[in-house]
Amino acid sequence: MEEKIKEVLEKIKPMLAADGGGVEFVSWDDKTKTVKVRLTGMCAGCPMAQITLHNAIAAEIKKVIPEVKEVKAV
């Protein structure tokens, strides 16, 4: 599962990099079906970070891997 998640994140990274940001995989919890990621660069601390997390990162992960229930930034 972790490899699938990392593959999705690799596809998202260029979009985030265009605005000076990034995302890193932190962990996968198989029990709660939760992915934890770390926003980096300009995404870290950005007022729009939660929107990016929800509308771009989580949406893409859930589209490719439907068993994911939640994506959290840590």
The pLDDT tens digits for 10-69 are 999 999 999 899 999 999 999 999 999 999 999 988 889 999 999 999 999 999 999 999
The pLDDT, as a whole number, for residue 63 is: 97
Q: Whole-angstrom Cα distance, residue 22 to residue 68?
A: 20
Burial class (CB in 10 A: 0-12, 13-18, 19+), 39: buried
pLDDT number for residue 34: 98
pLDDT of residue 45: 84
Q: How many folded domains does the chain comprise? A: 1
Range of the domain at 44: 2-73
Closest CA to 2 of 53, 51, 67: 67
Tokens of 26: 């932190």
pTM higher than 0.85: yes
Q: What is the pLDDT of residue 46?
A: 86
